[in-house]
């Protein structure tokens, strides 16, 4: 903890992390020794390829022709009008191949896996979107693929589990702990420590040990670069605010990062408020002011009890059901660059239904957290102001969850 | 002199190797732990490793994961472990005690508060599984200032350059992880272990102790031929797990498992 967050200026935020993977007091590489070598190897591979034009060209080509980028920036006119305030623009990551932003990162990491020559990839997944995106790139490159998924999430995301099976991946339900995303990540780390010689671990969010938070951010930053360019073209200027949901925080960092030095652009990261922050049943370490802690290889804000045991979390959306958050978000909270807020399950469902009814777009429940906050924010702004919301994924996978709430059985 | 250094110097004079049992504190319930510690010493333990239960033990296999769950269900906290060590010290002032676990419970208490308390109750060393030397810049000196040994892991995947760094920062002993994997995973290969220990001898005078994959007297004796100490965890914790309906028998079972290893190592 050598650098204090309060000494960090906004302009410094583009130069993070430092050489050892620290974002101010956060991040780092808190892993058992067996993994140190693999992480050093990954870091060297990534740093040597990051600025390699041939690697970038291959990445860009895959994003264009396999993922279908750029994704549109869509003006949700009818919804904006009904809210009676700022104009809302949706960054349509839901239109990507596999239906979410997650594929941007798995394409990038799969290219790294190919360079390292490892024949097997593993991943952890919550909602299943990262698992599907990993299984997809594994199928394309002919890699063996095992996906760890909390047993509770296997139950609530059956459709994605079957998608992964169809893609040739093995889905391994994790029965330990709270049987959700954090336990899936524990088990993936245990697999990696055992099979480190032949296995590449494709982490799905901007957390984990260095260099993962950095490289997952970089692979997702295409979202913000496009949104920035599209805003200038379609709005004629930069937006007034950006809104994105935050679990681990990869779609939010992807959108926010290219705007970080645009001081006039406000940013809102929306965490999973679950039953409400006041109930304690949520997954919102930043907006609930959780203590700092260390989990899964990095220091960050972490929901834990007074004895340092990691807390159970709750969210309607499996993809946000995680007690920690990417270390870069922790720093951005401290320096005040992003406002972190929470939307509770009830508000999220309302936003899900509203967008579906008014725009004919069914958002993922994760993305509906961002929409729920846009709903609060827009009426406080003028009609000539603009909000870009990251519609990070599509909602097909959540139909069963919503149907259950409506009391419908198929 | 720290009790760990003292113990290794005695063992060297006697020409014996260290036997280091690990148990998770609070398993199956906190009031058993101090009794187990004394039983292990009676059966021939030279140093005790006391596991700090954690909700997310990422480097551990199912045996120690379940031990953590049992201990946490009983409400075992890091502050309770420190009380256990204090109680143990009332009857045993010579056997070194090492706390082993993950960083978050220590971060939550605070490095300095923890180091003060650990030193005052008679802890001798601290091994934080998810804190390599690079991340110990703040915590390491706080331990050193209180004569608490900062013990680090070396793995089969550790490069020579990293091993040199670890040796430079390590105190007490080096914990060589005998295999790629989690605790309790498989049986180690003694020849492979010997090949990895050889270069470490040229880098450090610290005693080299080997853990992961030691199940019985035979593997313990094999490892004792090439290492300065043998660490055994899951084989003991398994006995606890198998006797939850008869906890009064556990201390005796731990003694017999450890005594078999002691006999095999000293033969």
Of the residues B5, B27, B46, B60, only one is catalytic, namely B60
Residue A110 backbone dihedrals phi, psi, to 5 degrees: -65, -35
Residue listed under structure tokens 């870069």: A328
CA distances (Å), B49 to each of A121, A350, A356, in order? 35, 53, 57
A31, A33, A309 member nearest B55 (Cβ): A309
Residue range of the domain that includes B160 = 3-266
B55, B104, B159 member nearest A294 (Cβ): B104
Distance CA A27, CA A87 (A): 36
pLDDT in tens, A245-262: 999 999 999 999 999 999
Active-site residue A11, yes or no? no
- Pairwise CB contact (< 8 Å): B58 & A32: yes
What per-residue confidence (pLDDT) applies to A6? 58
Q: Which residues contact B51 (CB under 8 A, 6 or more apart)?
A: B22, B23, B24, B25, B64, B67, B68, B100, B101, B233
- Vertex B206, ends B205 and B212: CA angle to 5°? 135
Q: Which residues contact B144 (CB under 8 A, 6 or more apart)?
A: B150, B171
Reported ipTM: the value is 0.95
Choose between B187 and A309: higher pLDDT.
A309
pLDDT in tens, B144-182: 999 999 999 999 999 999 999 999 999 999 999 988 888
What per-residue confidence (pLDDT) applies to A257? 98
Active-site residue A41, yes or no? no
- Other Cβ atoms within 10 Å of A341 Cβ, number: 21
The helix (run of H) or strand (run of E) holding residue B240 is: helix B234-242
Residues A368/A391, Cβ–Cβ less than 8 Å: no
pLDDT in tens, A48-90: 999 999 999 999 999 999 999 999 999 999 999 999 999 999 9
Of the residues A271, A359, A392, A397, only one is catalytic, namely A392
Residues B207/B229, Cβ–Cβ less than 8 Å: yes
In this complex, is the C-beta atom of A293 within 8 Å of any C-beta atom belonging to chain B? Answer: yes
How confident is the prediction for chain A on average, in pLDDT? 95
Q: Residue B59 maps to which CATH number?
A: 3.20.20.70
* CATH architecture type of domain A69-100+221-405: 3-Layer(aba) Sandwich (3.40)
Mutate: best of B64, B107, B162, partner A, most A CBs <10 A: B107
- Pairwise CB contact (< 8 Å): A294 & B107: yes
| DSSP per-residue string spanning A126-173 | SSSHHHHHHHHHHHHHT-EEEEEEEHHHHHHTHHHHHHHHHTTPEEEE
- Other Cβ atoms within 10 Å of A122 Cβ, number: 25
- Other Cβ atoms within 10 Å of A146 Cβ, number: 22
- Pairwise CB contact (< 8 Å): B108 & A291: yes
Residues B182/B60, Cβ–Cβ less than 8 Å: yes
Q: Which two tokens stand for residue A270?
A: 């929306």
Q: Give alpha helix (H) positions in A315-405.
A: 327-335, 345-359, 365-377, 399-405
Q: Which two tokens stand for residue B211?
A: 């853990």
Long-range contacts of A300-304 (CB under 8 A, 24+ apart): A300/A26, A300/A27, A300/A207, A300/A324, A300/A325, A300/A326, A300/A327, A300/A329, A300/A330, A301/A325, A301/A330, A301/A333, A302/B104, A304/B104, A304/B108
Q: Give every strand in the sheet of A26-30, ordered side by side.
A: A22-23, A26-30, A297-301, A292-295
pLDDT of A236 strictly over 80: yes
Long-range contacts of A141-144 (CB under 8 A, 24+ apart): A141/A110, A141/A113, A141/A114, A143/A110, A143/A113, A143/A118, A143/A119, A144/A119, A144/A120
Q: What is the largest distance, in Å, between two alpha-carbon atoms of chain A?
A: 57
Torsion of CA A29, A204, A219, A18, to 10 degrees: -10
E strand intervals along A249-400:
266-274, 292-295, 297-301, 339-344, 386-391
* Closest Cα in chain B to A297: B130
What percentage of chain A exceeds 70 in pLDDT? 98
- Pairwise CB contact (< 8 Å): B109 & A309: no
- Which residue intervals of chain A bear CATH 3.40.50.1100? 5-61+102-216, 69-100+221-405
Distance CA A186, CA A192 (A): 10
What per-residue confidence (pLDDT) applies to A216? 98
What per-residue confidence (pLDDT) applies to A2? 42
A193, A306, A309 member nearest B59 (Cβ): A193
List CB contacts (< 8 A) between B185 and chain A.
Answer: 194
Instruction: Number of A to B CB contacts under 8 A, please give it.
Output: 120
Distance CA A144, CA A133 (A): 14
Active-site residue A102, yes or no? yes
pLDDT of A318 strictly over 60: yes
Distance CA A230, CA A132 (A): 28
The total number of structural domains in chain B stands at 1
Pick the CATH number of A5-61+102-216 from 3.90.25.10, 3.40.50.1100, 3.40.1280.10, 3.90.190.10: 3.40.50.1100
pLDDT in tens, A353-405: 999 999 999 999 999 999 999 999 999 999 999 999 999 999 999 998 999 99
Q: Which two tokens stand for residue B199?
A: 């270069």
In this complex, is the C-beta atom of A291 within 8 Å of any C-beta atom belonging to chain B? Answer: yes
**Strands B208-211, A87-92: pairing kind:** unpaired
Distance CA A326, CA B191 (A): 42
Confidence band of A14 (pLDDT split at 50, 70, 90): confident
> What is the mean pLDDT for each group of 10 consecutive residues in chain B (267 residues)?
95 97 98 98 98 96 95 98 98 98 97 98 98 96 98 95 96 93 80 93 96 92 96 96 97 98 95
pLDDT of A224 strictly over 60: yes
Three-class secondary structure assignment of A42-110: HHHHHHHHHCCHHHHHHHHHHHHHHHCCCCCEEECHHHHHHHCCCEEEEEEHHHCCCCECHHHHHHHHH
**Strands A297-301, A26-30: pairing kind:** antiparallel
**Strands A26-30, A22-23: pairing kind:** antiparallel
- Pairwise CB contact (< 8 Å): A292 & B107: yes
The helix (run of H) or strand (run of E) holding residue B50 is: strand B48-51
Confidence band of A1 (pLDDT split at 50, 70, 90): very low
What per-residue confidence (pLDDT) applies to A409? 84
- Pairwise CB contact (< 8 Å): B137 & A2: yes
List CB contacts (< 8 A) between B65 and chain A.
Answer: 176
pLDDT in tens, A89-133: 999 999 999 999 999 999 999 999 999 999 999 999 988 999 999
Residues B48/B85, Cβ–Cβ less than 8 Å: no
pLDDT of A177 strictly over 90: no
Residue among B167, B37, B179 at smallest CA distance from B98: B37
Mutate: best of A26, A30, A180, partner B, most B CBs <10 A: A30
Residue B137 backbone dihedrals phi, psi, to 5 degrees: -60, -35
Torsion of CA A177, A179, A185, A191, to 10 degrees: 80
């Amino acid at each position: 903890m050598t650098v204090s967050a309060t000494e960090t200026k906004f302009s410094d935020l583009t130069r993070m992390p430092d050489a050892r993977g620290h974002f101010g007091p956060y991040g780092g590489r808190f892993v058992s020794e067996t993994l140190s070598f693999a992480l050093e190897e990954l870091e060297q591979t990534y740093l040597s390829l990051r600025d390699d034009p041939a690697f970038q060209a291959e990445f860009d080509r895959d994003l264009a022709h396999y993922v279908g980028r750029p994704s549109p920036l869509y003006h949700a006119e009818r919804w904006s009008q009904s809210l009676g305030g700022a104009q809302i623009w949706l960054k349509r990551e839901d239109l990507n191949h596999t239906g979410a932003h997650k594929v941007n990162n798995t394409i990038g990491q799969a290219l790294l896996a190919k360079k390292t020559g490892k024949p097997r990839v593993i991943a952890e997944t919550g909602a299943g979107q990262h698992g599907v995106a990993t299984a997809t790139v594994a199928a394309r490159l002919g890699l063996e693929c095992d996906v760890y998924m909390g047993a509770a999430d296997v139950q609530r995301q059956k459709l994605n589990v079957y998608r992964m099976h169809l893609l040739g991946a093995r889905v391994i339900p994790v029965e330990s702990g709270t049987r959700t995303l954090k336990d899936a990540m524990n088990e993936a780390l245990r697999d990696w420590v055992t099979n480190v010689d032949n296995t590449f671990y494709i982490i799905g969010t901007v957390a984990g040990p260095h260099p993962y938070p950095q490289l997952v951010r970089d692979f997702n930053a295409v979202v913000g670069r496009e949104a920035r360019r599209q805003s200038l073209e379609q709005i004629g200027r930069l937006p007034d605010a950006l809104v994105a949901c935050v679990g681990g925080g990869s779609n939010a960092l992807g959108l926010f990062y290219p705007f970080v030095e645009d001081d006039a652009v406000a940013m809102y990261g929306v965490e999973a408020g679950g039953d409400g922050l006041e109930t304690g049943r949520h997954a919102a370490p930043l907006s609930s002011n959780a203590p700092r802690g260390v989990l899964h290889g990095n220091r960050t804000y972490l929901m834990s009890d007074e004895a340092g045991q990691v807390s159970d979390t709750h969210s309607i959306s499996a993809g946000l059901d995680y007690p920690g958050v990417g270390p870069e978000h922790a720093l951005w909270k401290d320096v005040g660059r992003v406002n972190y807020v929470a939307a509770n399950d009830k508000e999220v469902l309302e936003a899900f239904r509203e967008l579906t009814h008014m725009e004919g777009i069914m958002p993922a429940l994760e993305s509906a957290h961002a929409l729920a906050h846009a709903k609060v924010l827009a009426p406080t702004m003028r009609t000539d102001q603009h909000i870009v919301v990251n519609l990070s994924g599509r909602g097909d996978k959540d139909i069963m969850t919503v149907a259950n709430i409506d009391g419908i059985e198929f | 002199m720290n009790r760990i250094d003292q113990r290794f110097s005695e063992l060297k004079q006697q020409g014996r190797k260290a036997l280091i049992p690990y148990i998770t504190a609070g398993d199956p319930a906190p009031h058993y732990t101090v009794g187990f510690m004394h039983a292990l010493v009676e059966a021939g333990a030279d140093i005790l490793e006391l596991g700090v239960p954690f909700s997310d033990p990422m480097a551990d296999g199912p045996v120690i994961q379940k031990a953590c769950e049992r201990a946490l269900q009983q409400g075992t906290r890091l502050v309770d472990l420190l009380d256990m060590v204090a109680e143990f010290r009332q009857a045993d002032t010579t056997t070194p005690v090492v706390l082993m676990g993950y960083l978050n419970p220590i971060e939550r208490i605070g490095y300095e508060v923890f180091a003060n308390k650990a030193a005052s109750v008679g802890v001798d060393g601290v091994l934080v599984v998810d804190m390599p030397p690079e991340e110990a810049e703040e915590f390491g000196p706080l331990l050193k200032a209180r004569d608490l040994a900062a013990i680090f892991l070396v793995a089969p995947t550790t490069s020579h350059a990293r091993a040199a760094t670890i040796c430079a920062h390590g105190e007490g002993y080096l914990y060589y992880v005998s295999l790629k994997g989690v605790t309790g995973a498989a049986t180690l290969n003694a020849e492979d272990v010997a090949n990895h220990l050889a270069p470490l001898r040229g880098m450090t005078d610290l005693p080299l102790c080997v853990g992961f994959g030691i199940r019985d007297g035979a593997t313990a004796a094999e490892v004792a031929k090439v290492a300065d100490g043998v660490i055994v965890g899951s084989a003991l914790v398994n006995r606890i797990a198998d006797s939850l309906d008869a906890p009064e028998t556990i201390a005796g079972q731990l003694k017999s498992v450890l005594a078999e290893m002691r006999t095999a190592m000293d033969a």
